């Protein structure tokens, strides 16, 4: 990769390379492998991400931003189809939560060690604060909104932590139950 006057493009290319390395090699990601994949020197990589933790933190934030964008699009679609009635944001959240994306699941699993670093965890929690504020602003009672969101999060976390997963019938029943909680 040639040196660019647009460091944001270089950082994006480095994150894409890190995604590919994680997808292909899992948690054995090394800065050397990412630099090779991106076509830059290790020094060039370190210029933008001075440590493996900083690179992984940036990748985690990029995944959060990607999910947030997908959620905003799903919410807009829900509003276009059914109006801006209470529960529209949560219905979009439910829909996204039941989509299995193996690449995102693999990347998230590879980033799990970040949760052991309190200073990084705080930043990730703050970046996802919208999950609480948007759920509460959706027009449903706060307790119900949080129960729906946490059930979706539990489904996702269980699938990504080795807990027994639901079969298709059980998954469909759970999804319908959660959606029913968003309707009046």
The model's pLDDT over 14-34, given as tens digits with 9 standing for 90+, comes to 999 998 888 888 767 889 999
The overall average pLDDT reported for the chain is 89
**How many domains does the chain fold into?**
2
Say yes or no: 86 and 34 in one domain: no
At 13 the pLDDT is: 92
* Residue range of the domain that includes 165: 56-180
Say yes or no: 31 and 67 in one domain: no
CATH of the domain at 22: 1.10.10.60
Say yes or no: 116 and 146 in one domain: yes
Say yes or no: 32 and 62 in one domain: no
Q: What is the pLDDT of residues 128-180, one digit of tens each?
A: 999 999 999 999 999 999 999 999 999 988 887 788 889 999 999 999 999 99
Say yes or no: 35 and 94 in one domain: no
- Higher pLDDT: 166 or 4? It is 166
Closest CA to 178 of 162, 163, 166: 166
Say yes or no: 84 and 129 in one domain: yes
Say yes or no: 80 and 171 in one domain: yes
- At residue 100 the predicted structure's pLDDT band, cuts being 50, 70 and 90, is confident
Say yes or no: 28 and 102 in one domain: no
Q: What is the pLDDT of residues 58-73, one digit of tens each?
A: 988 998 999 999 999 9
Q: Which two tokens stand for residue 11?
A: 């950082």
Q: What's the CA gap between 136 and 143, in Å, rounded?
A: 9
Whether the CB-CB separation of 45 and 35 falls below 8 Å is answered with yes
């Amino acid at each position: 990769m040639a040196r660019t006057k647009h460091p944001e493009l270089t950082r994006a290319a480095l994150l894409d390379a890190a995604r590919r390395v994680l997808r292909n090699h899992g948690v054995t990601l090394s800065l050397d492998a990412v630099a090779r994949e991106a076509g830059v020197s290790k020094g060039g990589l370190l210029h933008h991400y001075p440590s493996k933790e900083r690179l992984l933190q940036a990748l985690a934030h990029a995944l959060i931003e990607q999910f947030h964008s997908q959620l905003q699009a799903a919410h807009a679609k829900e509003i276009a189809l059914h109006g801006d009635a209470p529960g529209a944001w949560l219905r979009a959240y439910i829909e996204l939560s039941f989509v299995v994306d193996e690449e995102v699941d693999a990347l998230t699993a590879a980033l799990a060690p970040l949760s052991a670093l309190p200073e990084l965890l705080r930043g990730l929690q703050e970046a996802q604060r919208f999950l609480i504020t948007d759920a509460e602003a959706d027009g449903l009672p706060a307790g119900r909104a949080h129960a729906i969101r946490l059930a979706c999060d539990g489904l996702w976390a269980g699938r990504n932590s080795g807990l027994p997963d639901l079969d298709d019938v059980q998954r469909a029943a759970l999804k319908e139950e959660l959606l029913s909680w968003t309707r009046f």
